[in-house]
Structure 1
Amino acid sequence: MISIQRCTSADPRFQTLVGELDADLLVRYGAKQSEYDVHNKGLADARVVIAMNEGAAVGCACFKPLDAETIEIKRMYVQPGIRRLGVAQHILAGLEQWGREEGYRIAKLQTAIKQPEAIALYRKVGYRPTPAYGPYVDDADSVCLEKEI
Structure 2
Amino acid sequence: MITLLRTNSEHPDFRTLVTLLDRELHQRDGEEHAFYAQFNTIDAIAHVIVAYAEGKAVGCGAIKFFAEDTTEVKRMFVHANYRSRGVASLVLKELEAWAQELGFTVCVLETGKRQPEAIRLYEKNGYVPTPNYGQYIGVENSVCFRKEIQ
TM-score, normalised to structure 1, is: 0.98
User: C-alpha displacement at 1:41, in angstroms?
Assistant: 1.6
2:73 is aligned to: 73
User: Contact 1:62–1:75 (CA<8 Å) still a contact in 2?
Assistant: yes
CA distance in structure 1 between the partners assigned to 2:46 and 2:31 by the alignment: 26
User: C-alpha displacement at 1:45, in angstroms?
Assistant: 3.2
2:22 is aligned to: 22
User: Contact 1:43–1:64 (CA<8 Å) still a contact in 2?
Assistant: no
Counterpart secondary structure, 2:39: helix
Structure 1 gaps, min length 5 = none
Structure 2 gaps, min length 5 = none
User: Contact 2:7–2:49 (CA<8 Å) still a contact in 1?
Assistant: yes
Alpha-carbon spacing, 1:137–1:46, altered in 2? closer, same or farther (3 Å): farther
CA distance in structure 1 between the partners assigned to 2:135 and 2:76 by the alignment: 18
CA distance in structure 1 between the partners assigned to 2:14 and 2:145 by the alignment: 24
Code of the aligned partner of 1:100: Q
CA distance in structure 2 between the partners assigned to 1:47 and 1:112 by the alignment: 23
CA distance in structure 2 between the partners assigned to 1:135 and 1:124 by the alignment: 25
Code of the aligned partner of 1:107: C
1:144 is aligned to: 144
2:9 is aligned to: 9
CA distance in structure 2 between the partners assigned to 1:146 and 1:53 by the alignment: 29
Question: Identity over aligned residues, as a percent?
Answer: 45
CA distance in structure 1 between the partners assigned to 2:36 and 2:43 by the alignment: 14
Counterpart secondary structure, 1:41: coil
- The answer to whether structure 1 residue 101 and structure 2 residue 101 are counterparts is yes
User: C-alpha displacement at 1:31, in angstroms?
Assistant: 1.3
TM-score, normalised to structure 2, is: 0.97
CA distance in structure 1 between the partners assigned to 2:35 and 2:108 by the alignment: 20
